[in-house]
Structure 1
Amino acid sequence: MSSSLAETVDIEAPVEVSWALWSDVTQWPKFLSHVRLVEPLDARRFAWQLSLPGADKNFVAELTEVLPHERIAWRTIEGVHHAGVVTFLRLSDTATRISLQIDYDPHGFVEHLGALTNLDSVLAHHDLGEFRDLAETAAARS
């Protein structure tokens, strides 16, 4: 059974600031609560370590599309099935809309429960809020 989620957040930060933070995969553990580590393997591939309730996951993903200041897409090439895309929409010179879409195959009871109860969307919404706080703080410093 495949699951998907989609979440959007508006951020009071220029698209360049939002892009710089999200395009640096090593920053992801700062705002993605379930991500313990993201390690670049080369220019297009990176290893993930996730810590989820009842399950730790490791996998390798590759970037499938990078359009600076517009879009980042990835998919797994080893481990669990997971694919996602983040889009960046310039709302003004000082504001950005971030949209996140993720498709994944839940495995095990906890992951199926998260997909069925919409907990995954709640977590994604929380993480986008963390990203918003990080981007708005970075924008205020610049």
Structure 2
Amino acid sequence: MSTNVLESIDVEVPVSTAYNQWTQFESFPRFMGGVERIEQLDDTRTHWVTKIAGVQREFDAEVTEQHPDERVAWKSVTGPQQAGAVTFHRIDETHTRVTLQLDFEPEGVVEKAGDALGIVGKQAKGDLSRFKEFIESRGAEEGAWRGDVNRAPQQGETPPPPA
């Protein structure tokens, strides 16, 4: 049974600053609990090492959709089954709403028990709070990747016409 988590937070930086920082995957361990290391393999693939509730996991993830200042979506391609998206909504010139959605399949007794207790939702909320603190204290992003990745058509969908 799949679990869904949805959390939002307002940050006091322009939308481009919040988005640009989020594209710096290797900095995630600085504000995401349980994320030990992320390696950027290429423009759209990353390798993650996590340790949550004593369970260490390694997996590769792929960015499936990315649009500057709007959205970054991903899915795991190895390891535990998970997918997610983060969206960026401009509130005004200096405020942005960051919304994180996660879909995952808990594995094993420890993860299923943690899921039943809402641990992942609490973790996501804490990660967003730490992201807010991280980006607001800096006032600027560490870098940016502003490439555009279009979502591949799903089975049964008609692909978009060429541009």
**TM-score normalised over the length of structure 2:** 0.83
Per the alignment, residue 133 of structure 1 pairs with: 133
1:38 aligns with 2:2: no
Q: Aligned equivalents of 1:133 and 1:70: distance in 2?
A: 21
Where structure 1 has 5 or more consecutive residues not aligned to the other structure, the ranges are: none
1:140 Cα deviation from its structure 2 partner: 7.3
Per-residue CA deviation, residues 80-102 of structure 1 (Å, 9 max, x unaligned), is 10100000001011000000000
Letter in 1 for 2:98: I
1:20 Cα deviation from its structure 2 partner: 1.5
1:54 Cα deviation from its structure 2 partner: 2.6
Count of residue correspondences:
141
1:49 aligns with 2:34: no
Q: Aligned equivalents of 2:107 and 2:140: distance in 1?
A: 41
More strand by share: 1
Q: Aligned equivalents of 1:58 and 1:4: distance in 2?
A: 21
Q: How does 1:46-125 map to 2 (within 5 A)?
A: 46-125=46-125
Per the alignment, residue 25 of structure 1 pairs with: 25
SS in 1 for 2:100: strand
Per the alignment, residue 6 of structure 1 pairs with: 6
Where structure 2 has 5 or more consecutive residues not aligned to the other structure, the ranges are: 142-163
Structure number with larger C-alpha Rg: 2
Q: Aligned equivalents of 2:140 and 2:50: distance in 1?
A: 30
More helix by share: 1
SS in 2 for 1:109: helix
Q: Aligned equivalents of 1:140 and 1:112: distance in 2?
A: 38
1:55 Cα deviation from its structure 2 partner: 0.6
Q: Aligned equivalents of 2:5 and 2:97: distance in 1?
A: 17
Q: Aligned equivalents of 2:114 and 2:129: distance in 1?
A: 19
SS in 2 for 1:100: strand
**TM-score normalised over the length of structure 1:** 0.95
**1:14–1:139: 8 Å Cα contact kept in structure 2?**
no
Letter in 2 for 1:3: T
Letter in 1 for 2:136: E
RMSD: 1.3
